[in-house]
Amino acid sequence: MRDKKSTSLMHRREIIAGLAAGTILPFASGCADNSALGRSQLMLVSDGDLAQLSNQAWRDSLQRERVLRDPSYNRRLQRVGQRLVDSSGQSHLDWEFVVFDSDTVNAWVLPNGKVAFYKGIMDIMDTDDQLATVMGHEVGHVAARHSAERASQQMAAQYGMAMVNSMLGSRSDIRYNEEIGAALGMGVTFGLILPYSRQHEFEADRLGVDYMVGANYDPRHAIDFWLGMSAMHDRNEMDFMSTHPSDQSRIAAMRQHISERGYA
């Protein structure tokens, strides 16, 4: 028969292992169904708080970045963006599409529908179909409520860390506490936070392709675009330790989705 000390230690180890593996979350009641994804999501962040933070972030970005005034870039981004928004069913948001005057090859979106494309990424897009590839991906993030889910996951992870650190603090073996705490931190990072980020990227890709087709863009250009991006990238880290999937994984998943949907 185990003594009380041994039983308590095993119980704490089980909790630690569960949190590190992502199988125990302290906010199970904060889940919501997302029809766009066909799955439930952990939601601890209110839409009001998220909108307030997004509005402030957008104002800060407009002040920090230089906005490109070239009408040809802006007309193109607005034209493609509006078609993708209409296809996604997210027209209830106050969408805004802005081109930043920078050679940076990047684009991003805020949960409130504010979209930023940099001149650098638009310059490597030969067709509107390729622009729609990235625009669909960004709109997909909004429809999937990835920002709210990401913030909720981080809140849950921080809560779990605090709870376990409090439990571990009662033990006198400081070295043991530090080792378990370090292992738990790595477990939360690689077992929960980063995989969800990669999942979000794959989901946004799939939704983006669907929205492209709905807006009468050719999804085959999505493959062409990412093949081109892959040639530009010089990345050596493994998928396991990256917040984004590798180009090869992304392209393979996109090909499979296009084939399964019968878009090809």
> What pLDDT does 170 receive?
52
Secondary structure (H, E, C), the chain: CCCHHHHHHHHHHHHHHHHHHCCCCCCHHHEEEECCCCEEEECCCCHHHHHHHHHHHHHHHHHHCCECCCHHHHHHHHHHHHHHHHHHCCCCCCCEEEEECCCCCCEEECCCCEEEEEHHHHCCCCCHHHHHHHHHHHHHHHHCCHHHHHHHHHHHHHHHHHHHHHHHCCCCCHHHHHHHHHHHHHHHHHHHHHHHHHHHHHHHHHHHHHHHHHCCCCCHHHHHHHHHHHHHCCCCCCHHHCCCCCHHHHHHHHHHHHHHHCCC
What does the pLDDT read at residue 197?
80
pLDDT at 19: 40
Please list the residues that pair with 32 across neighbouring strands.
Answer: 41
Rounded CA-CA distance 13/19 in Å is: 10
Predicted local confidence at residue 20, as pLDDT: 42
Report domain extents, the chain.
Answer: 4-261
pLDDT of residue 181: 53
Contact 115, 96 (CB under 8 A): yes
Q: What is the pLDDT of residue 25?
A: 45
Write down the pLDDT at residue 21. 44
Mutual angle of helices 71-88 and 194-214, in 10-degree steps: 100
The radius of gyration computed from the CA coordinates of the chain, to the nearest angstrom, equals: 22
CA distance 233 to 248: 11
pLDDT along the chain (264 residues), means of 10: 47 45 47 79 76 89 96 98 97 96 94 95 96 97 87 70 56 50 52 65 95 97 92 62 78 96 89
Query: Which pLDDT score, from 0 to 100, does residue 206 have?
Result: 96
pTM of the predicted protein model? 0.74
- φ/ψ (deg, to 5) at 96: -145, 135
